[in-house]
Structure 1
Amino acid sequence: MSTEPDVERRFGDPWDPANPLGHRAVLAADERSEMFADGERMLDDFGLNAEFVPVGLGGRMTGLDRLIQVMRSVFRHDPCLGLGYGASSFIASVNVWAGGDSAQQRRLSELLLAGQKVASVYHELAHGNDFARVDFRADPGRPDELLLTGRKEVVTNARRSSAMVIFSRTSDAPGGRSHTQLFVEKDALPPDALRYLPRFASSGMRGVQLGGIELDHCPVDAGVALGPPGSAMEVALRSFQLTRTGLPAMTLGVLDTGLRTVMRFGEDRMLRGRPVATMPVVRSVLAESFVDLLIADCLATTVARAVHLLPEDTNAYASAVKYVVSGRAIHAMARLGELLGAQSYLRAGEYGIFQKMQRDLAPAGFGHAARVACLATVLPQLPRLARRSWATGQAPPAGLHDPDEALPPLPFDRLRIASAADPLMSHLLAAAEALPPGAGSPVRELTRTFVAELARLRTAALALRPSDLAVGGDPAALDLAARYTTVLTASACLGRWLVEQRRRPGTFLADPAWVTGALLRLAGELDGVPRPLPMALAGPLYAELAGRYAGGRSFDLCNGPLPDSPRSRN
């Protein structure tokens, strides 16, 4: 079975200028605004599309957390490959796994396993993330026929895909039952019926084939509908639990490369006769960026596993991942760019990969669904979650925080359009009561901080008025949702640390240093005062980061082997 290290082995050392899949070649393709052709051929040979197909349909999709790791390797080398080759098909395919019939699922699996691409055709510029107002129409034609009319301006792989999942209006009635998703193969369309719109110029993701489509009364078989008429919104909201969790988690590979680039810079550049990396302020920023990566990965990995184990409860969690992980990664890259200074703008040379990575990461904050739209998804669920789960402790299910525990298959049929309960918050309360006697006092005190914040959140959530939960309500209510995501993230970090202490004592993730640093960073966000790590924490955290860098290991929770050679130079 293919694994993440196998993807890394195939990419090879990205810093080697002679590597045809290295940074130099990636940057050259970016300058030409082209997809990285040699990288695509390698992923063809690897069979990346099989990662998006469930095992029961002949693919390799076993766990969302495993898929994230494989795709994180691709994003670490080239985000355009990550989105343009892989993630765009993932976004479209989960709608078929969640809402299609067995024949549609078999057909999609055949296309993907044959190396074809499928496009997600959702967005319209006039409506953005407001899918309930989508105008693209699928109207009745002759018996057993639909007529497709309209345009979609923002489509990844509009030209390169062989099939499309199209979010279409099928009724003029108001409300959430007016749209249906369609699984349409291009070969089934009449000749010249599909018109392609020009690509939008963009500063990031230059190589991704981002364009649009237009159809005018184009006939298709009515059997292309995914699910019953009017089910598009429900299928999308169920599918979002995989995509809003998976895509931001995949892009943490970009932050890994950003950190690695600045580590090289810190070793190479001299200031007053000493490497820049020896400066305490530089080491502090690097240590904090490392902790930010671990924080983001904790939340993403926990929720990725919760999709398998707690599918009825992950709707709010998935939106929290999109809000927290993408925002944290973008902010960390900005801080790293300040350390690089003018080098962060160069488009070639030893550090040229940084500016590409930073540009390509920016869409993670708004692509597919804007971060504020994700908060708006979380907000109306808070009163219900506060009543059901924020007052009593509950132990997590086995395997939620332990990556070595096997997961059941993805339960697409059990995903819900709203979270039924909030077990992660119950786990926080249980963890606070069950902290082992040897737990360091900072961890204990910080845990109490988040338990107290949860009590305040509960009071505020139960006091929300219906008008606060509606679009256009009190902006302060969205701040409540943001604070909720911070406490949720703290719960995920604490849960992972407790499992590591119990299962793998003596390892870095079992040490209190990283979780103390994580909780300190998160606590600073609660009171609006960013808290730099004290040197007593920044020192050992930087030492771990430097050790991984020197040893060719990833900076995320997996700490996996990489082919990078810190000593290779142009």
Structure 2
Amino acid sequence: MVTPAAYRSSVALEATLGNPFDPAAPVPYRSLIARDEREQRPDEAFEVAHQWGISRHLTPTGEGGRLTCFEELLSLLRVLARRDPVLAVGHGASLFAGLPVWMWGTAAQRALVAERLAAGEFGAIAISEDRAGSDLLATETTATPTRAGFRLDGEKRLISNATRGTFCTVLARSGPCLGLFLLDKRALPADRFRHLPKVPTLGLRGNDLSGIAFDRCEIPVSARLGGAGRGLEMLLTASSYVRVLACGIALGAADGALRIAADWARERRLYGQNLLALPPVRERLSAACLDLLTAECVAVSAARALTLGADRSRLWSSVAKYMVPLLCERTVRNAARVLSARFFLREGPASGMLQKFARDSAVMGILDGTSMVQLNLIASALRSVAAPHAQDRGPDLDPTSLFSLTTPAPPWRPRHTGLQLRPVARDEITQAWDGPRLAGRFALFDAERTGLTRRIQALTWTHGTPRTAYALARRHCLLHTAAACRHTWVHNRRLLDPELATPQWLAACWDRLLAELGLGPPEPAAGLPEDDLVDWLSRVCSEGRWPSLLSLPPPSKGQHHGQANRRGGAAVQ
């Protein structure tokens, strides 16, 4: 199979990072776990990724980089997270800091960020504060106008790359409004800012999570990003991109956990047979696999939509950010249950890496907004989508362009992005889809869609978001997920491995989503037989591939997969 263009760089990065189960690989699980135990950054792994050229994919082509396609960047972050989510979070924070600069920064601001990223340096996005939490309007950090520029006062905390970042994008109150400011930390007066201590965390222990305190810190007028007082609008627009890319980190952690569990089940013998032969183990692996593949459908389509339907992305990115971490956490939990008692040991399969994936994946649901924040955003967007005559607002997106992985998404043009704060007009993913019917399953989803629209239209929005809107938003997320699975299968089934090219895989995904909606399938489940799915998973992992809808080639010869032994030592070839 020819690898789609957006995924060729991921194949190359996989080969460079090597087989993480092999202690002799450039980025092995053994050394990553050792760093995590000491709560240290995996600096050697960051350096390997930099030498490969990951920083170039954080910078648009117009600024000397290679960032054109968010589908490609999603996949690259997923590759990094398969080794250690800390690697992906570190680079993701730099990207978030740079996004407003690429969209609205001056030529000098863009050149500064491009130069720092090219040198392998990092950026930070300083938004959150202890007292404000996710309420950006409660921001207390101030940027007071002076004759020379602005004076910054306040503390930003829980910031990734806060200490090592050499540039920083800061949200601060400037007069009655909020503004964004790009700081070159090397040019700041050293006695007017300080780094706060590293924050200890349950997961992502090696992440540079700390803060910055400003005390009458003078910055030039050229530090302001975009128009005066437009900081909140710029930040909310950039957040749509970050929400989607955070899904790549969740997918990578789930990939790693599932592969560890599948390999353990293949190699571990119990009761005179391989663990993989036991029905309860196969049930767990099958459920984990279906959740992962379902999450992938949602995440990849959301990434493609960032350049195909940016005006819809405020809704679609929030749906992805709500569903994908949730599904990936379930994948990791089921993988952990396959290890059973071994999961509670800080050694064992892959040096204890599955335990790290479990800790790290629990954080993904709160990065850039908790699940409740996402449901609030979704409910607000649905109010517009469900309005009468909403479908008359502009042309539909072509589902083929949105979902076909062999059809390249249009390149990102950051200077033409614009602020995406208008009401969401259309939702082709849930409102423009059809069968296959799959023994009456589609009819259940279609009835759910019609009823959901009526219930949203009946809501009263007089005093903010109604309580019932959150439950309706969650049901919409499940409906969106079912539709994304259908669209992905229809437009890519020729790319899929034979076991996934049949509609039975889609039926199995739909049955799980129908159960969450409280709607049973119209007849006994006729999805993909559990044995076929688990056999596919075992085969993919034994070939050195990662469990994914897209059948990417394994690492080159010499980097073929070999599971680490039970003590986390030399790989078994």
TM over 0.5: yes
| Aligned AA (1:136) | T
Task: Name 2:262's counterpart in structure 1.
Answer: 263
Match of 2:143, SS? strand
Alpha-carbon contact 1:554-1:561 (below 8 Å) kept = no
TM-score of the superposed pair, with normalisation by structure 1: 0.91
Q: State the alpha-carbon separation in 2 of the partners of residues 13 and 332 from structure 1.
A: 22
How far residue 468 of structure 1 moved from its aligned partner, in angstroms, is 6.5
1:223-249 CA-partner distances (Å, limit 9, x unpaired)? 111111111111111111110011122
Check if 1:96 corresponds to 2:101. yes
CA 1:508–1:420 in 2, change beyond 3 Å: closer, same or farther?
A: same
| 1:425-452 deviation digits (Å, cap 9, x = unpaired) | 4xx55432xx4xxx5x52x522221111
Deviations along 1:5-46, one digit per CA (max 9) or x if unpaired, are 121111111111333521111111111111112212211211
Distance 1:395 1:233 in 2: 28
Equivalence for 1:377: 377
Residue 206 of structure 1 corresponds to 205
**Match runs of 1:360-509 below 5 Å:** 360-387=360-387, 388=389, 396-412=398-414, 413-414=417-418, 416-425=420-429, 428-432=430-434, 435=435, 439=436, 442=438, 445-467=440-462, 469-470=464-465, 473-474=466-467, 476-501=468-493, 504=495, 507-509=498-500
Identify if the C-alpha distance between structure 1 residues 529 and 77 changes in structure 2 by more than 3 Å, giving closer, same or farther: farther
Aligned partner of residue 383 in structure 2, secondary structure? helix
Task: Give distance in 2, aligned partners of 1:424 and 1:246.
Answer: 21
Count the aligned residue pairs: 550
Deviations 1:361-393 (A, max 9, x none): 111011221111011111112121013557999
AA aligned opposite 1:34? Q
Tell me if 1:238 matches 2:229.
no
Contact 1:429 1:451 in 2 (8 A): no
State the partner residue of 1:115: 120
Structure 1 letter corresponding to 2:258? L
Measured after TM superposition, the shift of residue 57 of structure 1 is 1.0
- Distance across 1 between alignment mates of 2:525 and 2:334: 15
CA contact 1:123–1:152 (8 Å) conserved in 2: yes
Query: Which amino acid is 1:134 matched to?
Result: T
Q: Encode CA deviations 1:153-212: one digit per residue, 9 max, x unaligned.
A: 2111111011100011112x3xxxx10010010122112221111111112111111111
When residues 62 and 123 of structure 1 are mapped into structure 2, their CA distance, relative to the original with a 3 A threshold, is same
Q: 2:386 is paired with a residue of what secondary structure? A: helix
Deviation at 1:562, TM superposition (A): 3.7
1:312-351 equivalent positions in 2, closer than 5 A? 312-351=311-350
Letter in 2 for 1:155: I
Instruction: Return 5+ residue gaps in structure 1 as ranges.
Output: none
Q: Which residue number in structure 2 is paired with residue 49 of structure 1?
A: 55
Which residue identity is paired with 1:377? Answer: L
Pairwise CA distance, 1:271: 2.4
Higher mean alpha-carbon deviation, 230-239 vs 396-405, is at: 396-405
Query: What is aligned with 1:168?
Result: 172
**2-side partners of 1:196 and 1:429: how far apart?**
49
SS in 1 for 2:229: coil
CA shift, 1:463, in A, is 0.4
The separation in 2 between residues aligned to 1:505 and 1:22, in whole angstroms, is 29
Q: How does 1:533-544 map to 2 (within 5 A)?
A: 537-544=529-536
Tell me, yes or no, if structure 1 residue 157 matches structure 2 residue 153. no
* Cα separation, partners in 2 of 1:452 and 1:13, compared to 1, 3 Å: same
Counterpart CA distance in 2 for 1:394 and 1:154 is: 40
Offset at 1:529? Answer: 7.5
Superposition pairs of residues 541-556 of structure 1, within 5 angstroms = 541-556=533-548
Q: Distance in 2 between matches of 1:280 and 1:44?
A: 44
1:346 & 1:422 partners in 2: Cα distance? 49
Match of 1:216 in 2: 215
Which of 76, 84, 90 aligns to 2:82? It is 76
Per-residue deviation at 1:513? 2.0
Name the CA distance, whole Å, in 1 between partners of 2:89 and 2:113: 19
Deviations 1:437-474 (A, max 9, x none): xx5x52x522221111010110001001014643xx42
Report the residue type matching 1:17 in the other structure.
P
**3-state secondary structure, aligned to 1:13:** coil
Report the CA distance between 1:220 and its aligned residue. 0.6
Could you tell me which residue of structure 2 aligns to residue 146 of structure 1?
A: 150
2:402 aligns to what SS in structure 1? coil
Shift of 1:103: 2.8
Letter in 2 for 1:75: A
* 1:565 equivalent among 549, 561, 566: 561
Structure 2 unaligned runs (5+)?
none
Q: Distance in 2 between matches of 1:263 and 1:315?
A: 36
Post-superposition offset of 1:558:
2.2
- SS in structure 2 opposite 1:205? coil
Change (3 A) 1:129 1:24: same
Tell me the equivalent position of 1:301. Answer: 300
Which residue in the other structure is 1:510 paired with? 501
CA drift at 1:327: 1.0
Q: 1:73 to 1:334 in 2, by over 3 A?
A: same
1:466 maps to amino acid: W
Q: Residues 191 and 394 of structure 1: is their aligned pair in 2 closer, same or farther, counting only changes over 3 Å? A: closer
Q: Tell me which amino acid in the other structure corresponds to 1:314.
A: S
Indicate the residue corresponding to 1:193 in structure 2.
Answer: 192
Given that 2:39 and 2:205 are in contact with CA atoms closer than 8 Å, whether structure 1 keeps it comes out as yes
Q: Distance in 2 between matches of 1:513 and 1:419?
A: 37
Aligned AA (1:490): A
Q: What TM-score does the superposition give when structure 2 sets the normalisation length?
A: 0.91
1:535 offset after TM fit, Å? 7.7
CA distance in 1, matches of 2:353, 2:538: 20
Q: Which moved more, 1:352-361 or 1:246-255?
A: 246-255
Partner of 1:192: helix, strand, or coil?
helix
- Tell me: CA distance 1:395–1:236, structure 2 relative to 1, closer, same or farther (3 Å): closer
> SS of the counterpart of 1:159?
coil
Displacement of 1:419: 4.8
Change (3 A) 1:293 1:459: same
Distance in 1 (alpha carbons) for counterparts of 2:508 and 2:209: 40
Query: Aligned-pair distance for 1:65?
Result: 0.4
Q: Supply the distance in 1 between the matched residues of 2:190 and 2:353 (Cα, whole angstroms).
A: 42
Q: How far did residue 95 of structure 1 move?
A: 1.8
Distance 1:21 1:405, change over 3 A: same
> CA 1:337/1:40 → structure 2, altered by over 3 Å: closer, same or farther?
same
| 8 Å CA contact retained: 1:153, 1:212 | yes
Q: Per the alignment, do residues 507 and 390 of structure 1 end up closer, same or farther by CA in structure 2, a change over 3 Å counting? A: farther
Return the offset for 1:150. Answer: 0.3
In structure 1, give the amino acid aligned to 2:345: L
Counterpart contact for 1:248–1:322, Cα < 8 Å: yes
Deviation digits for residues 468-500 of structure 1 (CA, Å, limit 9, x no counterpart): 643xx42x2201001111111111111111112
Native 8 Å contact 2:178 2:230 kept in 1:
yes
What pairs up with 1:25-36 in 2 under 5 angstroms?
25-36=31-42
Moved more, 392-401 or 162-171: 392-401
2:315–2:424 Cα contact (<8 Å) kept? no
Q: Give the Cα–Cα distance (whole angstroms) in 2 for the partners of residues 28 and 257 of structure 1.
A: 17
Decide whether the 8 Å contact of 1:262 with 1:340 is kept in 2.
yes
